[in-house]
């Protein structure tokens, strides 16, 4: 499952998780709020922000960055 995350570099929205649900993470989020870091991840012809590194299981559950 993928979920919203905050990029530690630009402080905009990115994602973490398996990669299968990235479009749903960004549905309804204006593109100017998306992380602008590289490299982008292309899914179905759309360029999405890169995945943020996981901080560990417990931190992820508690909303850590």
- Reply yes or no on whether the pLDDT at 60 is more than 80: no
Rounded to an integer, the average pLDDT of 36-61 is 86
Pairing of strands 13-16, 46-48: unpaired
Let me know if residue 58 belongs to a domain: no
| Domain encompassing residue 18 | 3-53
Let me know if residue 23 belongs to a domain: yes
- Look up the pTM and report it: 0.79
How far, CA to CA in Å, does 16 sit from each of 32, 64?
Answer: 19, 11
Report how many domains make up the chain.
1
- pLDDT tens digit string along 33-48? 999 999 999 999 999 9
Let me know if residue 10 belongs to a domain: yes
pLDDT at position 53: 84
- pLDDT tens digit string along 10-21? 999 999 999 999
Let me know if residue 63 belongs to a domain: no
- Reply yes or no on whether the pLDDT at 65 is more than 50: no
Let me know if residue 21 belongs to a domain: yes
């Amino acid at each position: 499952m993928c979920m919203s995350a905050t990029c530690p570099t630009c402080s905009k929205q990115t994602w973490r998780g398996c990669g299968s649900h990235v479009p749903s993470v960004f549905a309804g989020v204006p593109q100017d709020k998306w992380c602008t870091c590289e490299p982008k991840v292309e899914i179905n012809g759309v360029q999405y922000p890169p995945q943020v590194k996981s901080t560990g299981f417990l931190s992820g559950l508690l909303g850590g960055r």
